[in-house]
């Protein structure tokens, strides 16, 4: 356990500079975005009121009030999240490959450690997972602050007041990242963790069998995907779309996801102990 | 410990923010208006079982909402399992109840018009429309569950010459003796008009006994619409059809005008005896605009409601005697120019929900009348905790449900 925690700490520290920059990008671009989107709305409102000699009420009647979700639907909000998400997905690969392609082949030292190979594997998985959650945490933290900034810029009469929760419920990105119920949160992120394990196994296959391993890896990913979507396909093929009740369907998916994850972990561990070549 | 500060921050941040998000009220509370039903007169006990389902829409934000006497529940406030199940059961409480009682029989069966239930059995008849991929077939799926023994029989029947039809769906299912009678509506290929047909199946022998055209819309080019049953699955001897000339909506209608009442004729069909009754509906019922407020059939009674001069008049017409049993007039008395209404008849009571609005006002009124005694037993209004007029205006009413 101690080994595992040290390794986890080590993995986090190795990426912390880039990770901190990602968080900074999210916070800075989004804050600028709120200011830009809100200001342009206020300016447009002022211009239109000047040109048409409208009162505020007349402007609202023809243009509507501004809502914070206008910012949330803009590139200013989605862009930095996409950048951070892409970087973390990329790091799923890099977290393994940097051991081989660093200044010195670090994998030597890593495999020489007295720690269980499971520790190495889970330290990397949990590092990625923790960084994803940290990103989500930062988003949860800054969203109300951004909402406050929006309130400062757009005058009361021109804006629509919505609670943070209501904003999150109407946006496609936040509905996935921070779903409205905790159950859903657990489901989304367990599925994410399963995907990380699957990719790890594919990467270790490549590391073990090199070129042939790429084929194995791709096939393995396809197999997991097929397993996970089997209930849908089987139902469609046998023409019995609604034969499973939603809860049963969910249970089947959870069991399949669990099986896939355990397989990935066991294969990954096996490769890491027996097959991986330095 | 000092060297662990970075990871400690990340873990603490994650647990605190995500934890706060799912537990703290600052995140979980909504600023959407909370509604309640304010009693004005009558017995407030009656409103306890009433739920209004609606859609709340303000500019970019919109979600479903269910309003009870003192409780407002937005879709996003429901637990994950409720949200997850909702799409499947399509909020139809009858189907939900059937699913609870007959879990296995109800698998994959969703269409409410396809069910029939009495004390002994639960029957289901639906048509699979397979019209994709070049092949074409319309297949009846029939299942009957004996509620006492728990045994069920099911069989299929393929409708001949599928090339004639565009699509076919089931409108009503009834059961008499050992015969299952299915009313279907079929849309013809290439020609306009819809045929209403009746298929009679012999359940013990699992075969089709006969097929008969009840109304040949493809020949007469008239529209035959079935007036729905209050409880679509209960035994019902009569089917009431409204026959009218089809109205083709003119294109490019800028301001939607209220549709003009159609010239129409009402016909009662006895499903048990397989014949049309010679019941004659009085003129005053024939001229009621059934597009404005949905009429209903309940056993041998048909209910028609009509709005005029800020009043709603309900007429209970006896299909067997051909006489009007009860009449009751509910005054709306609101200032707004437009009235949108939803009505339900349940257990001898008439529930009326009115949204009255124009540029100046918006009100939602709910009234309950006892049909037998022809008296108003409850009257109330929808109230919101903030921005009353704006909140009510943003509410699009779907229907009223009585538990």
Q: 3-state class of B58 per DSSP?
A: strand
CB atoms within 10 A of CB B355: 22
Element (H, E) at A171: none
Of the pLDDT bands very low, low, confident and very high (cuts 50, 70, 90), residue B90 is low
pLDDT given for residue B23 in this prediction: 86
Mean pLDDT value of segment B323-351: 88
- Are B159 and B165 in contact, with CB atoms under 8 Å apart? yes
CA-nearest residue of chain A to B27? A165
**In the block, which residue shows the tokens 């490549």?**
A206
- Are B218 and B205 in contact, with CB atoms under 8 Å apart? no
Size of interface A-B (CB pairs under 8 A): 117
* Residues of chain B positioned with their CB less than 8 A from the CB of A183: 79-81
- A222 has a pLDDT exceeding 60: yes
A141 or B245, which is more confident: A141
- B167 has a pLDDT exceeding 60: yes
- Are B290 and B264 in contact, with CB atoms under 8 Å apart? yes
Spell out the residues 6+ positions from residue B242 whose beta carbon is closer than 8 angstroms to its own: B224, B225, B227, B264, B265, B266, B290, B295
Structure tokens at B166: 């565009």
Cβ distance of A140 and B27 shorter than 8 Å: yes
- B76 has a pLDDT exceeding 90: no
pLDDT given for residue A160 in this prediction: 82
**Per-residue model confidence as pLDDT tens digits over A251-260:** 999 999 999 9
pLDDT given for residue A1 in this prediction: 66
- A240 has a pLDDT exceeding 70: no
DSSP one-letter string for B361-391: -EEEEEEEEETTTTEEEEEEEEEESS-HHHH
- Are B384 and B72 in contact, with CB atoms under 8 Å apart? no
pLDDT given for residue B259 in this prediction: 52
pLDDT given for residue A277 in this prediction: 67
pLDDT given for residue B364 in this prediction: 92
Mean pLDDT value of segment B376-393: 89
pLDDT given for residue B109 in this prediction: 85
pLDDT given for residue B219 in this prediction: 82
- B253 has a pLDDT exceeding 60: no
CA-nearest residue of chain B to A144? B27
- Choosing among B1, B59, B60, B141, which should be mutated to test the A contact, i.e. which has the most A CBs within 10 A? B60
Spell out the residues 6+ positions from residue A91 whose beta carbon is closer than 8 angstroms to its own: A15, A18, A128, A131
Question: What whole-number percentage of chain B has pLDDT above 70?
Answer: 92
Q: Which long-range contacts (CB under 8 A, 24 or more apart) does B16-21 make?
A: B16/A137, B17/A136, B17/A137, B17/A138, B17/A140, B17/A141, B18/A133, B18/A136, B18/A137, B18/A140, B18/A185, B20/A140, B21/A140, B21/A178
Q: Give contacts of B 80-139 with A, CB under 8 A.
A: 80-81, 83-85, 87-88, 99, 103, 107-110
d(CA B274, CA B320): 15
pLDDT given for residue A278 in this prediction: 61
Read off φ and ψ for residue A91, nearest 5 degrees.
-70, -20
- Write b or e for each residue in A137-169: b if 16 or more Cβ atoms lie within 10 A of its Cβ, otherwise e: bbbbebbeebbebbeebbeeebbbebbbbbbbb
Mean pLDDT value of segment B195-203: 94
- Choosing among B27, B92, B393, which should be mutated to test the A contact, i.e. which has the most A CBs within 10 A? B27
Cβ distance of A247 and B84 shorter than 8 Å: yes
CB atoms within 10 A of CB A103: 6
* Residues of chain A positioned with their CB less than 8 A from the CB of B14: 130, 133-134, 136-137
* Residues of chain A positioned with their CB less than 8 A from the CB of B5: none
- B235 has a pLDDT exceeding 60: yes
**Per-residue model confidence as pLDDT tens digits over B124-134:** 999 988 887 77
- Dihedral over Cα of A75, A81, A84, A87: its sign: negative
pLDDT given for residue A60 in this prediction: 85
Structure tokens at A211: 């070129």
For residue A12, the distance in angstroms to the closest alpha carbon of chain B comes to: 7
ipTM: 0.87
Domain ranges of chain B: 32-90+293-403, 92-247+259-278
d(CA B261, CA B263): 7
> Which of B31, B81, B109 comes nearest A166 by C-beta?
B31
The partner residues of B380 in beta bridges, in order of sequence, read B39, B366
Cβ distance of A8 and B7 shorter than 8 Å: yes
Spell out the residues 6+ positions from residue B299 whose beta carbon is closer than 8 angstroms to its own: B236, B237, B238
* Residues of chain B positioned with their CB less than 8 A from the CB of A166: 30-32, 61, 76
Cβ distance of B79 and A184 shorter than 8 Å: no
Cβ distance of B18 and A180 shorter than 8 Å: no
- B89 has a pLDDT exceeding 60: no
**In the block, which residue shows the tokens 């029947």?**
B157
Tell the burial category of B17 from Cβ atoms under 10 Å away from its Cβ (0-12, 13-18, 19+): buried
Of the pLDDT bands very low, low, confident and very high (cuts 50, 70, 90), residue A275 is confident
Q: 3-state class of B26 per DSSP?
A: helix
CA-nearest residue of chain B to A183? B80
For residue A163, the distance in angstroms to the closest alpha carbon of chain B comes to: 5
Q: Give contacts of B 165-194 with A, CB under 8 A.
A: none
DSSP one-letter string for B78-113: S-HHHHHHHHHHTT-HHHHHHHHHSTTTTTT---GG
CA-nearest residue of chain A to B86? A246
DSSP one-letter string for B129-164: EE-STT--EEEEEEEEEETTT--EEEEEEEPS-GGG
Of the pLDDT bands very low, low, confident and very high (cuts 50, 70, 90), residue B379 is very high
pLDDT given for residue B403 in this prediction: 79
pLDDT given for residue A266 in this prediction: 96
* Residues of chain B positioned with their CB less than 8 A from the CB of A8: 7
- B252 has a pLDDT exceeding 70: no
Tell the burial category of A109 from Cβ atoms under 10 Å away from its Cβ (0-12, 13-18, 19+): exposed
d(CA A220, CA A231): 18
pLDDT given for residue B260 in this prediction: 52
- Are B125 and B155 in contact, with CB atoms under 8 Å apart? no
- Are A127 and A8 in contact, with CB atoms under 8 Å apart? yes
DSSP one-letter string for B210-256: EEEEEEEHHHH--EEEEPPBSSTTS--SEEEEEEE---PPPS--SS-
pLDDT given for residue B240 in this prediction: 94
As a residue count, chain B comes to 403
For residue B13, the distance in angstroms to the closest alpha carbon of chain A comes to: 6
Cα distances (Å, whole numbers) of residue B81 to B87, B89, B175: 11, 12, 35
Cβ distance of B7 and A67 shorter than 8 Å: no
> Which of A144, A166, A243 comes nearest B61 by C-beta?
A166
- B268 has a pLDDT exceeding 60: yes
Of the pLDDT bands very low, low, confident and very high (cuts 50, 70, 90), residue B17 is very high
């Amino acid at each position: 356990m101690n080994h595992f925690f040290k390794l986890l700490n080590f993995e986090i520290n190795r990426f912390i500079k880039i990770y901190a920059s990602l968080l900074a990008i999210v916070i800075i671009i989004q804050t600028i975005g709120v200011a830009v989107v809100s200001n342009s709305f206020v300016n447009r409102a002022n211009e239109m009121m000047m040109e048409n000699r409208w009162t505020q009420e007349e402007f609202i009647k023809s243009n509507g009030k501004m809502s914070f979700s206008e910012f949330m639907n803009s590139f200013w909000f989605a862009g930095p999240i996409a950048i951070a998400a892409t970087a973390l997905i990329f790091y799923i690969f890099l977290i393994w490959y940097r051991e081989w392609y660093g200044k010195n082949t670090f994998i030597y030292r890593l495999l020489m450690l007295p720690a269980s190979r499971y520790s190495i594997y889970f330290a990397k998985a949990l590092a990625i997972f923790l960084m994803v959650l940290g990103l989500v945490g930062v988003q949860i933290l800054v969203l109300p602050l951004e909402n406050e900034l929006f309130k400062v810029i757009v005058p009361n009469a021109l804006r629509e007041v919505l609670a943070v929760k209501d904003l999150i419920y109407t946006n496609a990105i936040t509905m996935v990242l921070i779903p409205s119920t905790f159950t859903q949160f657990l489901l989304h992120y367990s599925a994410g963790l399963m995907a990380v394990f699957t990719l790890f196994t594919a990467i270790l296959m490549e590391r073990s069998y090199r070129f042939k391993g790429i084929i194995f890896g791709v096939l393995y990913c396809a197999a997991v995907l097929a397993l996970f979507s089997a209930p849908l396909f089987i139902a469609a093929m046998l023409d019995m779309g609604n034969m499973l009740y939603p809860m049963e369907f969910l249970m089947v998916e959870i069991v399949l996801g669990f099986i896939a994850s355990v397989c990935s972990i066991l294969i990954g561990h096996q490769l890491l102990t027996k097959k991986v070549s330095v | 410990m000092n060297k662990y500060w970075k990871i400690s921050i990340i873990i603490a941040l994650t647990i605190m923010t995500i934890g706060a998000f799912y537990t703290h009220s600052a995140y979980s509370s909504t600023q959407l208006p909370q509604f309640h039903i304010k009693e004005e007169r009558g017995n407030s006990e009656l409103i306890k079982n009433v739920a209004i389902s609606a859609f709340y829409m303000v500019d970019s934000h919109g979600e479903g909402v269910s309003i009870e006497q003192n409780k407002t529940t937005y879709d996003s406030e429901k637990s994950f399992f409720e949200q997850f199940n909702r799409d499947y059961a399509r909020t139809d409480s009858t189907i939900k109840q059937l699913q609870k009682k007959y879990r296995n029989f109800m698998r994959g069966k969703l269409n409410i018009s396809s069910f029939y239930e009495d004390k002994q059995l639960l029957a289901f008849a639906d048509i699979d429309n397979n019209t994709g991929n070049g092949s074409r077939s319309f297949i009846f799926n029939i299942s009957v569950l004996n509620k006492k023994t728990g045994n069920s029989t099911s069989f299929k029947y393929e409708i001949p010459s599928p090339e004639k039809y565009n699509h076919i769906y089931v409108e009503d299912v009834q059961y008499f003796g050992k015969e299952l009678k299915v009313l279907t509506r079929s849309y013809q290929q290439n020609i306009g008009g819809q045929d209403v047909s009746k298929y009679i199946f012999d359940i013990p022998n699992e075969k089709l006994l006969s097929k008969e055209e009840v109304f040949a819309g493809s020949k007469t080019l008239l529209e035959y619409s079935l007036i729905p049953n209050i409880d679509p699955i209960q035994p019902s001897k009569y089917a009431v059809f409204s026959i009218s000339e089809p109205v083709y909506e003119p294109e490019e209608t800028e301001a939607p005008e209220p549709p003009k009442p159609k010239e129409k004729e009402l016909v009662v069909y006895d499903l048990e005896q397989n014949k049309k009754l010679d019941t004659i509906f009085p003129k005053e019922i024939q001229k009621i605009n059934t597009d404005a407020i949905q009429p209903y059939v309940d056993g041998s009674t048909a209910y028609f409601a009509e709005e005029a001069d800020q009043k709603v008049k309900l007429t209970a017409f006896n299909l067997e005697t051909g006489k009007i049993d009860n009449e009751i007039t509910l005054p709306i008395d609101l200032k707004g120019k437009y009235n949108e209404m939803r009505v339900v008849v349940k257990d001898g009571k008439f529930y009326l929900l009115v949204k009255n609005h124009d540029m100046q006002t918006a009100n939602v009124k709910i009234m309950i009348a006892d049909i037998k005694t022809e008296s108003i037993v409850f009257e109330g209004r929808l109230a919101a905790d903030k921005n009353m007029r704006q909140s009510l205006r943003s509410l699009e009413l779907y229907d009223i449900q009585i538990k």
